[in-house]
Amino acid sequence: MSTVVAVDCMGGDHGPRVTLVACRQFLDRHPDAELLLVGLPEALSGFDHPRARIVAASEVVGMDDPVEVALRRKKNSSMRVAIEQVRDGHAQAAVSAGNTGALMAIARYVLKTIDGIDRPAIAGRMPDFRGGGTTMLDLGANVDCSPEHLFQFAVMGSALVSVLDNKDSPSVGLLNIGEEAIKGNEVIKKTAELLRSAANSGDLNFHGNVQGNDIYVGTVDLIVCDGFVGNVALKTSEGLAEKISTALKNSFTRSIFAKLAAICAYPVLANFKDQVDHRRYNGAALLGLNGIVFKSHGSADEVAFGTALNRAYDAAHHNLLDRVRSRIAQAAPLLALGQQTEAPAPASH
């Protein structure tokens, strides 16, 4: 049976100029996949492939459109129509490079959240120095989180890593200012208690607290944090990759001594640049929804957008949604226990 992915071809900084090239390359690599190309018919009319079908949309969500405009006024946007293909069962996943806030709002409105999940989260991969990647969430959807929210992120993220990285029991780390259990604020300490309980019952492979450097060392498979911290880490990672790329471009435009040094260092820098190339890690999952949605970086080229398509395909092909639901249901007693612990004591009479 084919795996069908709906693609918002109009989203992002480049639109069909990039998305259509990536879609054709994707179809060549995946003979069992089909694509629903969503967008303005006149912009997509030149694309012809036996396993692709154009789905018309009359509007486009701009990168600077306010969430309210995208959600309430542009009801026939390519972004919304792509997500509706998932809701209506025509596709198993959707991919968009459009406005992140709009994508999350529309996806949550159209698909709703899974039972047991309070807030969807954005999960993406960060490069590590071993040449692999560390999955991290939340990357910006939720700035203020309770221990129960962070625990839900851990459960959902663990399911994502098990699917995309083929690991039965991925290790989970809680981002903190130190490894010791006494470190961190009350939210972090309470989250750690929930994660340790899940580890004791065999529901999660909780490694313990991790620090910022562990993101790039690759200490654990999954790192959990709130969206404020996660987004800062994401932007730092992207900035690092850009700085290295610029340094490599400029290394041969300086003095003879600088050029000689650059020649010696070039293989190491080039290898490091490949390891932290954000295009290899593009494609963040919007977890916690009744459907699979992946967010591509807005400035993605065809290589990066193709990576996002691959991740969405893998998630759908390996039944990510069912795995998330199953793990959330399994962890429900721990969540209920945590919520009871937080409940205020009844007033005395």
Digit-coded pLDDT (tens) for 286-317: 999 999 999 999 999 999 999 999 999 999 99
Element (H, E) at 171: strand 171-175
Average pLDDT, the chain: 88
Task: Indicate whether 135 and 255 sit together in one domain.
Answer: yes
Q: Tell me how many domains the chain contains.
A: 2
How far is it, in rounded angstroms, from Cα 48 to Cα 183? 57
N-to-C CA span, the chain: 64
CATH of the domain at 171: 3.40.718.10
In one-letter notation, the amino acid at residue 108 is: R
Task: Indicate whether 132 and 187 sit together in one domain.
Answer: yes
The residues, any chain, with a CB within 8 Å of residue 153's CB and separated by 6 or more, are: 121, 123, 137, 138, 145, 224, 287
Q: Is residue 46 domain-resident? A: yes
Q: Show the tokens assigned to 56.
A: 């018309």
What residue numbers bound the domain in which 133 lies? 123-285+320-342
Q: Is residue 263 domain-resident? A: yes
**Per-residue pLDDT tens for 54-79?**
999 999 999 999 999 999 999 999 99
**Per-residue pLDDT tens for 146-194?**
999 999 999 999 999 999 988 989 999 999 999 998 999 999 999 999 9
Strand partners, 53: 36
pLDDT of residue 247: 57
CATH of the domain at 28: 3.40.50.10950
Residue 74 Cα distances to 62, 66, 211, 345, angstroms = 10, 11, 42, 46
Say whether pLDDT at 262 is over 90: no
Q: Is residue 151 domain-resident? A: yes
**Of 82, 111, 140, the domain-final residue:** 111
Say whether pLDDT at 260 is over 50: yes
Task: Indicate whether 212 and 338 sit together in one domain.
Answer: yes
Q: Is the peptide bond before 203 cis (omega within 30 degrees of 0)?
A: no
Task: Indicate whether 274 and 327 sit together in one domain.
Answer: yes
Q: Show the tokens assigned to 94.
A: 């959707």
How far is it, in rounded angstroms, from Cα 134 to Cα 216? 7
Give the percent of the chain with pLDDT over 70.
Answer: 84
Q: Is residue 187 domain-resident? A: yes
Q: Is residue 240 domain-resident? A: yes
The answer to whether 106 and 59 are in contact (CB under 8 A) is no
